[in-house]
Amino acid sequence: MTSSFKPVRKAVFPVAGLGTRFLPATKVLPKEMLPIGDRPLIQHAWEEARDAGIEEFLFVTGRHKNMLEEHFDYQPELMDTLEARGKKDLLEKVRGSEMPAGKLFLTRQPRPLGLGHAVWCARELVGNDPFAVILPDDVIMAPKGCLKQMVEAYNDLGGNMVAVMDVPRQDVAKYGVLDIGADNGKTVSVKGLVEKPEPAKAPSTLSIIGRYILQPEIFGHLAAFEKGAGGEIQITDAMSKLIGKQPFHGLRFEGTRYDCGSRLGFLEANIAFGLIDSELGGDVRHMIDRLSGSAAPLKRSAKGST
C-alpha cells in the first residue's frame, strides 16, 4: 500500500437515475431492479463490491427507488414458506441477498442532475475516506471481480483509479475518454479526461466504464456544480481537476463489460449469463441456435413447457 493513501472500505452506488431507455418498464420499477439471470442489477453490483473487501454500502437513491433497499432485507414470511416447503436451494439464494446488519447506508438525490451530483450527495456518508463508485448498470463478467482488480492495483498505486476499456472510435461520444501518459499495458497514467468527445477529437479510444476509486478531495470539485456534457453535473469534469495533484490511473480490467443501461446490452448480458448458467446453459445455446434458424424447433411437452 502506498503509505499516504487509506484502504478502500466504502462504495457508493448511484441509483437515482430515471432509466428512461427502459420506459415504460421503469415507470415504477427501478432500472437497477431489472434482472440479469436470477439477480437484479443492484445485487450483481453489491456482490462485486463485497468480494472486493468493501464493508459499507452507500446507496444514493431517489423517488420510487425504495425497492432497492428492500431487496436486501430479511424476509421472514418468505423464508418460513421456503423452509416449510423444503426448498433448500432457494433458501440459500435468498439468504445470499441479505445485507449484513448496519452495513447499508442511504441518502437521497432529490433531482437527477447527473452522476457527479449523485456522488456529491454521498459526501457526508463518505467523509474523509477514499471510496469506490459502482454503476450497477455496468455488469462485468470476470474470473476476478472488476472492483477487486482495481482495489489490488490501488493498493500499489494509491490515488484515483478508473476502470477502462478500448471502444470503437465511433462510440467514444458515449464515454469519458482518457488522455494517456505512461502505459504498461495494464495500468495507464492519466494526463487528462474528456467527457463524451467527438470521435475525431478524442485523445484516445480508452474509455471509462462504471467503476471508480476516488479520493475524498473530489467532493470539493463536485461542489462547484459545473454542468458539463448533456447539461448534467458530470463526474469526469471533477475528476479532471485531481489530475496532477494526486496519482490518477486507468486500469484495463480483465473481463467483459455489458452495458445494461441500454436495451441491447441488457439482452446481451442475459444471454451471456444464461449461457454459463449451470442449469440453463445447454438449453440457452439450443434456443439461440433455434432462433437463428440453425436448429430444429424445440418440441413442446404436454404441459406446454419446453
Residues that bind ligand UTP (CB under 6 A): 14-21, 31-32, 60, 109, 112-115, 117-118, 135-137, 261
Contact 208, 192 (CB under 8 A): no
At its nearest, how many Å lie between ligand UTP and the CB of residue 201? 22
Question: Residue 136 CB, nearest distance to ligand UTP (Å)?
Answer: 5
Q: What residue is closest to ligand UTP based on CB? A: 17
- For the bound state, the minimum distance from the C-beta of residue 284 to ligand UTP, rounded and expressed in Å, comes to 26
Buried b (16+ CB within 10 A) or exposed e, 126-162: beeebbbbbbbbbbbbeeebbbbbbbebbeebbbbbb
Distance CA 107, CA 69 (A): 11
For ligand UTP, the closer of residues 20 and 292 by Cβ is: 20
- In this structure, the chain runs to a length of 306
Q: Please, which residue, 222 or 284, has the CB nearer to ligand UTP?
A: 222
Q: How far is the CB of 103 from ligand UTP (least distance, A)?
A: 20
Identify whether the C-beta of residue 170 lies closer than 8 Å to the C-beta of residue 293: no
Cα dist. 260→19, 44, 97, 204 in Å?
Answer: 11, 12, 20, 24
Cell of 253: 480490467
| Nearer CB in complex with ligand UTP: 94/113 | 113
Alpha helices (H) along 99-233: 115-120, 123-126, 146-157, 218-222
Q: Tell me, what amino acid is at 135?
A: L
For the bound state, the minimum distance from the C-beta of residue 17 to ligand UTP, rounded and expressed in Å, comes to: 2
Cβ distance to ligand UTP smaller for residue 134 or 206: 134
- For ligand UTP, the closer CB: 103 or 196: 196
Buried b (16+ CB within 10 A) or exposed e, 171-198: ebbebbbbbbeeeeeebbbbeebbbbbe
In the bound complex, what is the minimum distance in angstroms from residue 301's beta carbon to ligand UTP? Answer: 39
Closer to ligand UTP by Cβ: residue 12 or 188: 12
